[in-house]
Amino acid sequence: MDKTTNNDEYSQPSSVDPVETESTVGPVLFYNELVIEHFTNPCNVGEMSPKEANGFALVGDPACGDEMKLWIKVESDRIVDIRFKSFGCPGAIATSSMATKLAKGKTLHEAVELTDDDVIRELGGIPEEKKHCSLLGITALQKAINDYYMRKMMESADSDDLS
Distance CA 34, CA 95 (A): 10
Q: Which of 64, 85, 90, 101 is catalytic?
A: 64
Q: How confident is the model at residue 145 (pLDDT cuts 50, 70, 90)?
A: very high
Distance CA 120, CA 125 (A): 5
Q: Which amino acid is at 121?
A: R
Beta strand segments in 18-148, E: 55-61, 66-75, 78-87
Q: pLDDT tens for residues 103-143?
A: 999 999 999 999 999 999 999 998 888 887 778 999 999 99
pLDDT(21) > 60: no
Q: The whole model's pTM is what?
A: 0.77
pLDDT(13) > 50: no
The predicted structure's pLDDT at residue 162: 59
Catalytic annotation present for 133:
yes
Catalytic annotation present for 43:
no
Q: How confident is the model at residue 4 (pLDDT cuts 50, 70, 90)?
A: very low
Q: State the CATH architecture for 33-150.
A: Alpha-Beta Complex (3.90)
CB atoms under 10 Å from CB of 18, counted, come to 13
Rg of the chain taking only CA atoms, in angstroms: 19
Q: pLDDT tens for residues 66-99?
A: 899 999 999 999 999 999 999 888 889 999 999 9
Positive or negative CA dihedral for 140, 125, 131, 117? positive
Q: Which of 133, 136, 140, 141 is catalytic?
A: 133
More confident residue, 138 or 26: 138
| In the chain, domain spans | 33-150
pLDDT(160) > 50: yes
